[in-house]
């Protein structure tokens, strides 16, 4: 540790000059005067996205019309996009399907896993899972007459497992604290009990290397670190060994083996395609694929190395402020975010955003900063830390306008 007194902005600029992935910053639209530490919630806009979406609208839709289902590959977008995502999570071709929202995808994975473990009545979920995960678990338990067993740590998980557990749903990276689980070890523990393992990778994909080898199901969103845009399609990974037997509870037309035979009965498509449901949102796929063009050039080891360096720098520059660090101090145990606890976290974050540093607030008391290595610079981290210090030392957050809660925090 250098200590914040010995870190200078010039030193951070030197780190930027030596950064092997610094050129990727030019791929993104970043407004002047903004330090964007919200890539773990909504990624920045890739420069190429607007042109890609415009082409889909004006040429593929506007000129070629319905022919584009064939000529522009619209029909196959769930599979072709899934294949582009697959290398980012350690999966292979034909193992990932892109489509639907994260919540719908969680439900599909849970339902399939439960059907593969008949006679087992328990779904294990972490109380620290994102609320969407918890809500979907509650809905699935009610729909399929199952029991929920909640845990608060991996130690709890070991005690929760047993012959009655059908499936375990956990987040690889904790959305509040950024704590990372050991995917291989946890998966092995769960499967040794006879249960199936589902991983939520929403805060992992595009932030650190992921390897789904050996897991049963995984899913994630694409609008955070992958920069797919607001409402971008989610994705699901289905292990090849499960693809023949796994059933998609939402048996939609696009998951049919021969949809254009227009048969009255449902016959699931082979492979991961059976997890498709309805018409792919073509414009959203266009935006996502524009970003994935960038990710195909990225070395995830370099991304992870810079992520560790950026988060370490931010912690060193801010730990003297007296805030309670909620994120693991050991970089091996954290994702690409830093979270602090503050009793007035909401107005603190509102004041920060007004001063050009964009993070977010998570109730009841977390101020959260996400570090997207492709476009974030070391000088940005330096400036953000100084701004946080100013907001706290001058108590700018006390202004009345910051006390009113906005709809989205």
| Residues tagged in the binding site annotation | 102-103, 130-133, 200, 203, 223, 253
Beginning with the edge strand found earlier in the chain, give each strand of the sheet holding 165-171 in spatial order: 96-98, 235-238, 217-220, 196-200, 165-171, 122-126, 147-151
**237 labelled catalytic:** no
Fold annotation for 50-296:
3.40.640
Q: Does domain 9-30+299-402 have CATH number 3.90.1150.10?
A: yes
Half-sphere exposure of 142 (CA within 13 A, CB side): 6
107, 130, 225, 237: the active-site residue: 130
**216 labelled catalytic:** no
**314 labelled catalytic:** no
Q: Please report the pLDDT score of residue 86 as a whole number.
A: 98
273, 368, 369, 402: the active-site residue: 368
Rounded to two decimals, the pTM is 0.95
Q: Please report the pLDDT score of residue 3 as a whole number.
A: 65
| Residues tagged in the binding site annotation for pyridoxal 5'-phosphate | 102-103, 130-133, 200, 203, 223, 253
Contact between 246 and 116 under an 8 Å Cβ cutoff? The reply is yes
**401 labelled catalytic:** no
Nearest to 103 by CA among 202, 197, 15, 183: 202
Q: Please report the pLDDT score of residue 409 as a whole number.
A: 84
State the Cα–Cα distance between residues 279 and 27, nearest whole angstrom.
30
83, 126, 200, 216: the active-site residue: 200
Going from N- to C-terminal start, the domains of the chain cover: 9-30+299-402, 50-296
Q: Tens digit of pLDDT per residue, the chain (409 long)?
A: 566 668 999 999 999 999 999 999 999 999 999 999 999 999 999 999 999 999 999 999 999 999 999 999 999 999 999 999 999 999 999 999 999 999 999 999 999 999 999 999 999 999 999 999 999 999 999 999 999 999 988 889 999 999 999 999 999 999 999 999 999 999 999 999 999 999 999 999 999 999 999 999 999 999 999 999 999 999 999 999 999 999 999 999 999 999 999 999 999 999 999 999 999 999 999 999 999 999 999 999 999 999 999 999 999 999 999 999 999 999 999 999 999 999 999 999 999 999 999 999 999 999 999 999 999 999 999 999 999 999 999 999 999 999 999 998 8
Q: Please report the pLDDT score of residue 6 as a whole number.
A: 87
Q: Is 400 helix (H, G, I), strand (E, B) or coil?
A: helix
224, 274, 362, 377: the active-site residue: 224
Q: Please report the pLDDT score of residue 4 as a whole number.
A: 67
Q: At a CB cut-off of 8 Å and minimum separation 6, what does 173 contact?
A: 179, 180, 181, 201, 202, 203, 204, 207, 208, 335, 337
**217 labelled catalytic:** no
Q: Please report the pLDDT score of residue 150 as a whole number.
A: 95
In the numeric block, which tokens belong to residue 54? 């415009």
State the Cα–Cα distance between residues 348 and 402, nearest whole angstrom.
8
Contact between 170 and 127 under an 8 Å Cβ cutoff? The reply is no
36, 107, 217, 223: the active-site residue: 223
């Amino acid at each position: 540790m250098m200590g914040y007194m010995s870190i200078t902005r010039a030193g951070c600029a030197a780190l930027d000059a030596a950064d092997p992935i610094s050129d990727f910053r030019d791929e993104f639209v970043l407004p002047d005067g903004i330090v964007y530490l919200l890539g773990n919630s909504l990624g920045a806009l890739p420069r190429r996205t607007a042109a890609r979406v415009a082409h889909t609208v004006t040429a593929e839709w506007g000129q070629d019309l319905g022919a584009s289902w064939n000529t522009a590959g619209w029909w196959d977008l769930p599979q072709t996009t899934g294949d582009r995502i697959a290398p980012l999570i350690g999966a292979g071709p034909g193992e990932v399907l892109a489509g639907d929202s994260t919540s719908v995808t969680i439900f599909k994975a849970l339902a399939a896993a439960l059907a593969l473990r008949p006679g087992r009545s328990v779904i294990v979920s972490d109380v620290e899972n994102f609320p969407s995960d918890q809500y979907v678990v509650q809905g699935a338990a009610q729909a399929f007459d199952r029991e929920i067993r909640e845990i608060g740590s991996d130690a709890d998980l070991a005690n929760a497992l047993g012959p009655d557990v059908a499936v375990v749903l956990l987040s690889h990276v904790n959305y509040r604290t950024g704590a990372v689980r050991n995917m291989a070890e946890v998966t092995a523990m769960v499967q040794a009990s006879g249960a199936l393992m589902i991983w939520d990778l929403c805060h992992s994909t595009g932030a650190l290397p992921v390897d789904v080898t050996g897991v049963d199901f995984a899913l994630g969103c694409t609008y955070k670190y992958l920069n797919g845009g607001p409402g971008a399609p989610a994705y699901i990974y289905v292990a090849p060994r499960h693809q023949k037997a796994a059933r998609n509870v939402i048996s939609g037309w696009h998951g049919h083996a021969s949809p254009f035979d227009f048969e009255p009965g449902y016959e699931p498509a082979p492979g991961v395609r059976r997890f498709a449901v309805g018409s792919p949102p073509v414009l959203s796929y266009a935006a996502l694929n524009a970003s994935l063009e960038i990710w195909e050039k990225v070395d995830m080891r370099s991304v992870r190395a810079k992520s560790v360096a950026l988060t370490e720098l931010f912690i060193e520059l801010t730990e003297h402020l007296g805030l309670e660090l909620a994120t693991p101090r050991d970089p091996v145990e954290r994702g690409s975010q830093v979270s602090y606890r503050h009793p007035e976290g909401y107005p603190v974050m509102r004041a920060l955003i007004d001063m050009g540093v964009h993070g977010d607030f998570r109730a009841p008391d977390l101020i959260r900063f996400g570090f997207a290595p492709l476009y974030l610079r070391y000088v940005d981290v330096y400036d953000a830390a100084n701004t946080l210090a100013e907001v706290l030392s001058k108590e700018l957050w006390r202004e009345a306008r910051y006390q009113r809660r906005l709809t989205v925090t």
